[in-house]
A and B are shown apart, each in its own frame.
Chain A
Amino acid sequence: MNRICTIAGKDFRSLITSPMFLMVAGASSLLMSYSYLRNLKQFGESTMMSAMQFGQEGGANIHFSVFMQHISITNLLYVLLMPAITMRLLAEERKMRTYDLLLTAPITATDIAVGKFLAAFGAGLVLVLLSLIYPLATRAVAEFSVTQLLVSYLGLALVTGTYMAVGVFASSLTESVLLAVVLGWILNLFLWFISQGAGFFEGSKFIAVMEHLSIGQHFASFVRGTLNVGSFVFILSCIAFFVFLTQRVVESSRWR
């Protein structure tokens, strides 16, 4: 446990101080500021309009019209940007030969895989919190249910964890950081689009299975603000699956 924390702590520190992380954080807050303000302004105008026309107030729900859009934009950004943060974690260790240090230290492959994932997840959470600032700040000017918002963000944190686990796995497969990024994208998009394949097959059961496997379904229920145990477990097991695959890859380097 201690050794996992050692690896996670060191990599977390080196991740969030890396230029790549700062660039990702900067670029995503720039994009989010732009889109969030635009959505909020539109929402404000339309509620004003309906209030003037029908003489009623507070009819529209800010969670559905502004926050959900904000979260899905954030999610789209993170699908594409998270592999850029995780790409170095193991690929660079291989390239710089620091992998030798990890493999000859008295630690197990599980320590390495879990430590790396936790470091990446920590960095991912920082970015999730960055995105949470926008709706929380809106609280100053509007009334809404914070619980619903937090449940949506729990969902966002979980899928970010999945992207991180996928990214660390992609990074474990290769020495090239470029390949690690591209592989991360492909796997992330695959997680999203797996349900699309259902259209090729007959049978409602099969389609149901495919849809269940797609991360989008589960994420959507969180974003609506409902805490669904099934979805929670599904996303957690996705994370565990990719961390397990990483552990296998690290372990296998002894046998090559």
Chain B
Amino acid sequence: MIEVRGLTKSYGDRLAIQDLNFTVNKGEVVGFLGPNGAGKSTTMKIVTGYMAPSSGEVRVGGFDVFENPIEVKSQIGYLPETPPVYMDMLVEDYLIYVARLRGKSKPDAKTMAQAAMEKTNLTEVQKRLIGNLSKGFRQRVGLAQALVGDPEVLILDEPTVGLDPKQVHEMRDLIQRLKGQHTIVLSTHILPEVQASCDRIIIINRGQIVAEDSLESLGKRMSASGQVTLKIRRKHEELVQSLSGVKGVMSVRRDGSGLDVSVDHNEDTIEAIAEHTVKAGAGLVELKATDLDLEDIFIRLTSSERSEVGREL
């Protein structure tokens, strides 16, 4: 449904995103994950046709975003970071306006606005001014706006930012309900959000994709990989070299007076590491084994000084 090839965007001489490649299939829910400033919003804006890339190509439903912008835009419902609502309009009038912008006739627009309000539970506030609604409701109006006219693709840019926990929960429920009816791209920096709703995750950092996988196999990685932190008194360099040879060790990195060792999830490996370190006479003072969860993977992938380890994951 969405194909992105070699997408690059620079603001002046600052590269926001660099050579992004990914595909989103029809009906899929993809989480676009990354820390603030990673280039998520820029990518979303380019896919929706809001902005042109410096180079690269985006196709939505077979249409090129820049050659056929109108066709592409009529297939996409977009909820930007700040919901694009007019404070001086009634909820109903606003949604009808959006439907009319999408080229629907007056009676159609009315039914579409009603349908969108029903999906997002807005019917009770339809005659209220958007400016008088709470942040959570405005966000829902923003989502309703994206849903008007049932577009094939939904692009949601940080839909839960600034909401209270209850509203966040409601928003997630809503997205969950939309699953299967639309192809959804969900951009966020909040992990539970992707865990709750996405089939597949694309992790982006500093404008580049650092990991792309289904939630399941990322989950497997979670349980399949662990980390061992060693504190030793001497022979650091030597151990960095020799530990890499131990079976089950994926990578070794020196971290001050200690070593960070990425390992598979096997107790034999940990035993082997302990044995090897003691035999080498490195003066082992501490050995700590930890499991990785999604958060750790995310942090390891996206914190720059560790990105080398991350790529090997």
Give chain A's interface residues, CB within 8 Å of chain B. Answer: 2-3, 6-7, 10, 14, 18, 96-108, 254-256
CA distance A86 to B98 in the complex (A): 22
User: A104 with B49: in contact, given A2-B103, A3-B101, A3-B103 (CB under 8 Å)?
Assistant: yes
CB proximity of B83 to chain A, nearest CB, Å: 8
CB distance B100 to A14 under 8 Å? Answer: no
- How many A-B residue contacts, CB cutoff 8 Å? 69
CA distance A99 to B50 in the complex (A): 10
- The residue that B73 contacts in the complex, of A7, A10, A104, with Cβ under 8 A, is A104
CB distance B51 to A14 under 8 Å? Answer: no
Closest to B97 in A: A10
CB distance A254 to B50 under 8 Å? Answer: yes
Which parts of B17-70 form the interface with A (CB within 8 Å)? 48-52, 69-70
- Which residues of A lie under 8 Å from residue B225 when comparing CB positions? none
User: A101 with B88: in contact, given A106-B73, A108-B70 (CB under 8 Å)?
Assistant: no
CB proximity of B35 to chain A, nearest CB, Å: 22
- The residue that B82 contacts in the complex, of A2, A97, A102, A108, with Cβ under 8 A, is A97
CB distance B102 to A106 under 8 Å? Answer: yes
CB distance A100 to B50 under 8 Å? Answer: yes
Q: Mark B82-111, 1 if CB is under 8 A from A, else 0.
A: 111111110000000110111100000000
CB distance B86 to A104 under 8 Å? Answer: no
Q: What count of chain B residues pass the 8 Å CB interface test?
A: 29
CA distance A2 to B73 in the complex (A): 17
CA distance A14 to B85 in the complex (A): 14
CB proximity of A240 to chain B, nearest CB, Å: 23
CB distance B98 to A105 under 8 Å? Answer: yes
Q: In this assembly, does B126 line the interface, its C-beta being within 8 Å of a C-beta of chain A?
A: no
Q: In this assembly, does B78 line the interface, its C-beta being within 8 Å of a C-beta of chain A?
A: yes
Chain A interface, DSSP helix/strand/loop, else mixed: helix
CB proximity of B82 to chain A, nearest CB, Å: 4
CB distance A101 to B102 under 8 Å? Answer: no
- The residue that B100 contacts in the complex, of A3, A18, A104, with Cβ under 8 A, is A3
CB distance A6 to B50 under 8 Å? Answer: no
Closest to A5 in B: B100
CA distance A105 to B109 in the complex (A): 14
User: A254 with B100: in contact, given A96-B86, A98-B85, A106-B70 (CB under 8 Å)?
Assistant: no
CB proximity of B132 to chain A, nearest CB, Å: 15
CA distance A67 to B169 in the complex (A): 66
Q: In this assembly, does B248 line the interface, its C-beta being within 8 Å of a C-beta of chain A?
A: no
- The residue that A6 contacts in the complex, of B49, B84, B97, with Cβ under 8 A, is B97
CA distance A73 to B86 in the complex (A): 35
Closest to B74 in A: A106
CB distance B50 to A104 under 8 Å? Answer: yes
CB distance B86 to A6 under 8 Å? Answer: no
**Selected A-B contacts with CB under 8 Å, 10 pairs:** A6-B100, A7-B101, A10-B97, A96-B86, A97-B84, A104-B50, A106-B69, A106-B70, A106-B74, A108-B70
- The residue that A98 contacts in the complex, of B74, B76, B86, with Cβ under 8 A, is B86
CA distance A108 to B74 in the complex (A): 12
Q: In this assembly, does B145 line the interface, its C-beta being within 8 Å of a C-beta of chain A?
A: yes
- Which residues of A lie under 8 Å from residue B159 when comparing CB positions? none
